[in-house]
Structure 1
């Protein structure tokens, strides 16, 4: 795979897990149609057993491949997308993100520049938080950078791209992880396959709906607790989570 990246431009599959996302998915797919369609080899939405009109939304986009995963859980939806995808690189975003212009081009650029790159990720920006709340929320990624320098990995689950062969060597996603810590687990295991790059330029606009509902302090404490738990214990500290819909 490494040699393949340097002899031809790798194909990219874009995968979007979705559970009850009829409200946010249309703007996500509109952004993808503007900025990604025609560049990705395929766009896959994994319906994670939604009970709303998520499938009807997907049906409005002929360029999107619909895949169904009956067992609820973000890691199971990611794995189902992995099994359905054909690209050399698998790019994952969440259903409340809005991939910006130049986003997919950065994937090609970074994997071309670094032959041993296994996984690429980058920070969120929050399109529905006020200036101060957005600054505080995005400040988490600045605060986390020393952890990245120490461990060699930092991941954002709604904004990453990973080599197919690296994911195969990892055995795919860990479906025993329900929610918190799944991104740290991906980064930790990907590091065994090559470099994990967290690029400040690789920004993904997303919703701050979880922070609005649960509060920044609670979310920050949950993420840090699970980060350290996965790093040092190999498993998340928290199993339960709240759906924000």
Structure 2
């Protein structure tokens, strides 16, 4: 793994890729294969944060010599993200989920966007779903189109499994809010990052991911939960849902 090329601003030279993982031995290999093929060459480091897994997640990581394994014993996505933040050394921290498959050109977009926009605090973009049918994929991806007016109104929209944020911005934010267990954590990141620069949601910054949550819990239900929590973070500063289901 190497440092990012010189097209980044002088104060932003390196990118750390961080992957939180809880019981992800089934999905993590494909994620790491994609990372090593498409991302690692321009990354300073790749870090997997094992969020108290009880399966073979660690054994998967150990099959990839260039990947750093870090344990976060207290379960929770925001705690895993925070552990990655505290461990990483890059100027930009790029977060993907363990069931994503970063495509060719993904990290190059991070370099290009932060290089072209000195005031950019955070970059995110939509999901596509590699394990949903064409119609269901279109319906699920359509959520991001439907939510765009909220983005234009508020200036922030985020996807937790597909974002890159400047380290100095995250430091100013005080890191991740560990009081948020799951729903709304990405909206909270975007809302607080917006105070320190532009939060760009780019439709070309697409991340293939699993649609397993929609498959198990239903698209309409999940879309409704995400929408309600977006509004709750927006107006109340905290999510409306504190419980969630681990889908593996």
TM range (shorter): over 0.9
User: Mind listing any 5+ residue stretches in structure 1 that lack a counterpart?
Assistant: none
Cross-structure match for 2:124: 121
Q: Tell me by how many angstroms 1:7 deviates.
A: 3.0
- Of residues 16, 20, 25 in structure 2, which corresponds to 1:22? 25
SS in 2 for 1:91: strand
Q: Tell me by how many angstroms 1:38 deviates.
A: 2.0
Contact 1:5/1:115 (CA < 8 Å) preserved in 2? no
- Normalised by the size of structure 1, how large is the TM-score? 0.97
SS in 2 for 1:221: helix
Separation in structure 2 between the aligned mates of residue 146 and residue 13 of structure 1, nearest angstrom: 31
SS in 2 for 1:98: coil
Contact 2:27/2:98 (CA < 8 Å) preserved in 1? yes
Cross-structure match for 2:63: 60
- Of residues 212, 215, 221 in structure 2, which corresponds to 1:212? 215
Q: Tell me by how many angstroms 1:220 deviates.
A: 0.5
- Of residues 81, 86, 89 in structure 1, which corresponds to 2:89? 86
Q: Tell me by how many angstroms 1:6 deviates.
A: 2.4
- Normalised by the size of structure 2, how large is the TM-score? 0.96
Separation in structure 2 between the aligned mates of residue 101 and residue 54 of structure 1, nearest angstrom: 25
Cross-structure match for 1:136: 139
- Of residues 190, 194, 212 in structure 1, which corresponds to 2:193? 190
Aligned pairs for 1:36-185 within 5 A: 36-185=39-188
- RMSD over aligned Cα atoms: 1.0
Q: Tell me by how many angstroms 1:37 deviates.
A: 1.2
Q: Tell me by how many angstroms 1:9 deviates.
A: 6.0
Separation in structure 1 between the aligned mates of residue 41 and residue 108 of structure 2, nearest angstrom: 12
- Of residues 28, 31, 35 in structure 2, which corresponds to 1:32? 35
Separation in structure 1 between the aligned mates of residue 137 and residue 232 of structure 2, nearest angstrom: 26
Cross-structure match for 1:223: 226
Q: Which stretches of structure 1, 4 residues or longer, exceed 3 Å deviation after superposition? A: none
Sort the Cα spacing of 1:9 and 1:236 in 2 relative to 1 into closer, same or farther, 3 A: closer
Contact 2:12/2:92 (CA < 8 Å) preserved in 1? no
User: Mind listing any 5+ residue stretches in structure 2 that lack a counterpart?
Assistant: 1-6
